[in-house]
Structure 1
Amino acid sequence: MQPARRRGLAEEAADRIRDEILTGHFEPGDHLREVELAESLQVSRGSVREGLAILVREGLVHSEWHRGTRVVELTETDITEVYAVRAALDRLAALTAAETGRPHQFDELDRLVGEMEREAAGQADGPRLVALDIQFHNCVYAMAGNRRLISAWEAVRSQVHLFQAHRVRLSHEHYRTRVVDEHRELATLLRAGRVEGLGDLAEEHVQSACRGLISSLRG
């Protein structure tokens, strides 16, 4: 890992460790050792401990007394629960954004879909596609403008990112062939303000991702 730029900051340690989890350097179930992380990041163990506490709150790591801290496992129960919550949030975000979104925000959604398309047409770097996917939904929630809704999304976003990243590693081609069309359809309905069918589409987009990940895990 790259050394932390701002020594002693828990947030910086959390950012670095989060990146390593989301890119697959640390895999589900891996043990995260404070001493090794502190040495790698060139920060104090206290900063690492506080950074890991941030990631515990995000649902990316799990800490147990006398058993240490590990990256969360991907169980079917966890996946089903997170995506069920996300589906409900995405429905509300999409329906609200269709009514409150501004032209420049719809343009941003189109720009992100265009970037997805270019990535998918090329070598289709998995982490980059997932990052664009998350950015797209960040934009939808920002368009909705509901602070509590945004907070609820932020509470599960890191777990969603982890699950999507793992989905890509297990079945990159399946994700690559669907990500552009699904987001383009969402962007089109949002810009048109067509709330009829939009909520169902937003939910199905999430449930499709859930089914794909569970199917890949089962092999």
Structure 2
Amino acid sequence: MTAAPLPKARLRGLAQEAADLVREAIFAGHFPPGSPLREVELAAALGVSRGSVREGLALLEREGLVRSVWHRGTTVVDITAQDVEEVYAVRAALDRLAATSARRTASEGQLAELDDLVGAMSAEIAGEASGPRLLALDIAFHDRIYDAAGNRRLSDAWQAVRSQVHLFQLRRVALGYQHYRARVVDEHRELAALLRSGDPATLARRAEEHVHSACRSLLAGLGG
């Protein structure tokens, strides 16, 4: 029996680019939580087809960053207390596993990258610290831990919630910047030190508490 030919691959470059640009705009605050995302307007602004925008929004929906409802269109996800509790509960479990795995597998070069990121956070605060810039370094720090853990499925699980974590952390920073600014360097410096030579149980506990502290801060800001 002759096998049926495989379907032609579809070009998804523009859809991915549309997703990247809309994601950046959401993180930059151009589309706050709950804002509508209209295909026609986005297509005109980005200079791509509505089809590319539609596919791009579908990618962002899989990341949990936007929500589409039949006949109601697409909106940036809102941030409710339930959303916060669910996302941070998942992140706490993932971060615990990533940290304890990375402690066993991280190379000296990967540990040095974490130290460099902590140094960059400290330098940012010593200058005119920006909440979004500090958060970008914060997210990059955790990206490196997941890379160092060397577990592809764990990294995939992190990527599945990463955009939501970024959006929620942006709201946390906006609602309580001074609290975040005062803690971000010390907390990440402690994690970097524990990853290098700390007790595994202490590392696991501190990795979880790092996330739970962020959750409490955001819930307090939301009035939850």
TM-score range, shorter chain: over 0.9
Which segment is superposed worse, 41-50 or 193-202? 193-202
- Look up the SS of the partner of 2:129 in the other structure: coil
Shift of 1:25: 1.2
Partner of 2:76: 71
Structure 1 or 2, whichever has the larger Rg, is 2
Equivalent residue, structure 2, for 1:213: 218
Please say if residues 99 and 193 of structure 1, whose CA atoms lie closer than 8 Å, have aligned partners that are also in contact: no
1:5-24 alignment to 2 at 5 Å? 9-24=14-29
Q: CA deviation at 1:121?
A: 1.9
> Which secondary structure state, in structure 2, belongs to the residue aligned with residue 18 of structure 1?
helix
Question: RMSD of aligned C-alpha atoms?
Answer: 1.2
2:122 maps to which residue?
A: 117
Q: CA deviation at 1:61?
A: 0.3
Q: Is the 8 A contact 1:8 1:43 kept in 2?
A: no
The answer for the alignment partner of 1:88 in structure 2 is 93
Stretches of structure 1 that go unaligned for 5 or more consecutive residues are: 1-6
Q: CA deviation at 1:8?
A: 6.4
Q: Residue 156 of structure 2 corresponds to which residue in structure 1? A: 151
Q: Aligned match of 2:142 in 137, 149, 154?
A: 137
| Cα displacement (A) at 1:84 | 0.2
- The worse-fitting range, judged by mean Cα deviation, of 188-197 and 46-55 is 188-197
Alignment pair present for 1:181 and 2:149 = no
CA 104–70 in structure 1, closer or farther in 2 if over 3 Å, else same: same
Give the aligned partner of residue 4 of structure 1. none
What's the counterpart of residue 167 of structure 2? 162
Shift of 1:171: 1.3
Q: CA deviation at 1:194?
A: 2.8
Q: Report the residue type matching 2:65 in the other structure.
A: L
SS in 1 for 2:154: helix
SS of the aligned residue for 2:48 comes to: coil
| Number of the residue aligned with 1:3 | none
Cα pair 1:58 1:156 within 8 Å, conserved? yes
Identity of aligned residues (%): 66
Equivalent residue letter for 2:131: G
SS of corresponding position for 1:70: strand
Asked if residue 202 in structure 1 is aligned to residue 207 in structure 2, the reply is yes
Match of 1:38 in 2: 43
Unaligned runs of 5+ in 2: 1-11
Alpha-carbon distance in structure 2 between the residues aligned to 1:113 and 1:59: 28
- Determine the C-alpha separation between the residues in 2 that align with 1:213 and 1:23: 18
